[in-house]
Amino acid sequence: MNRAELIFFAFDVYVFVSGVVVSFVDSFRDQLLYIALGSGYALVRAMGTTIESGTTGLLFSFGIVKKELKPGFHLLIPYLQKVRRIATRSRTLDLPAQRVATFEGLVYHVDASLVYRIVDVRKALVEIDVVEKGMVQMLGLGVQEVLRTANADSVQSSKTLDAALSKNLAERLEPWGVEVERAGFSSITPSQKTLRITQLAGVTGERQRMLEHLEAPGIQRTGALALIGTRTLPRRRARHLQRMESRRRRQRHLRKTLMQYGYLNIQIAQAERSLRARATTSGKVKAKAATAQTEE
């Protein structure tokens, strides 16, 4: 290809490209203004960012933290710098309902809340991926740790528990640049089983005090027990459960022995009912005797 042919080829290419551009402009003539405005807006957005009040930004340049950005407009190098924002005002975090067991075996349903503020933006954005998710986990762990060492009396002291929870969370969240302003329990509700146990403990203690009061003037114990409406001494729930389990073991052993001797299930059930009736009658007779002795 000589020089003249090369010039004609270049001219043909220029004419073709010009025709394509002109046809493109003709096709999108009505949209050119919007395209220009959109391109300008994207360029301006890439060259700067706006930080709102109550929020602090952290500038990353080539992936490296440079400085904190206060509220206002800040210029950026397009595509080489970026900004991550985080709220630095006081915020509230609610913990979903938790089921917590104390060292005494009592179970409570707990709701807790946390009021916090970010004081170190660099730690909050660099040391952890999502600080809110981490705080939810730490709030749950703090609630478990505080209530696990509490007893039935200390659970009723809300100020003590709130102070312990605030101290626990302050130590846990400090490495993430979070300041705990207030933490506390919204509600602490005992389960049905825990409620029965605590009420039984109260009734047992009241009967024990009545027994001591009746025995002080010289009334015999059997008579005092009859007066307070029980044939046995006030006892703890654990001891009562142990006796019930021992009674069930004896019944199982008796049933197994009778079955080895060829007794039918109906005959064994009749024998058990007869034994229970005999025990009930014996208890009533003893109670009447104790009452008569007291009256004398």
Q: What are 30-41's pLDDT values in tens digits?
A: 666 666 676 667
CA–CA separation, 59 and 77 (whole Å) = 11
Residue 261's φ and ψ, nearest 5 degrees, are: -85, 5
State in Å, rounded, how far the first CA of the chain is from the last one.
Answer: 142
284: nearest Cα among 247, 221, 220, 231: 231
Element (H, E) at 38: helix 32-47
CA–CA separation, 103 and 185 (whole Å) = 19
Asked whether the predicted pLDDT for residue 177 surpasses 80, the reply is yes
Out of 42-56, 139-153, 247-261, 281-295, pick the least confident: 281-295
The predicted model scores a pTM of: 0.55
Which pLDDT band, with edges at 50, 70 and 90, does 240 fall under? low
**Strand partners of residue 57:** 69, 85
- Average of per-residue pLDDT across 247-263: 80
The pLDDT, as a whole number, for residue 87 is: 92
Amino acid identity of residue 189, one-letter, is T
Asked whether the predicted pLDDT for residue 250 surpasses 90, the reply is no
Which pLDDT band, with edges at 50, 70 and 90, does 55 fall under? very high
Which pLDDT band, with edges at 50, 70 and 90, does 178 fall under? very high
Asked whether the predicted pLDDT for residue 279 surpasses 70, the reply is no
Q: 289-296 long-range contacts, Cβ below 8 Å, gap at least 24?
A: 289/222, 290/220, 290/222, 290/223, 290/225, 290/226, 291/223, 291/226, 293/220, 293/222, 293/223, 294/219, 294/220, 294/223, 294/226, 294/227
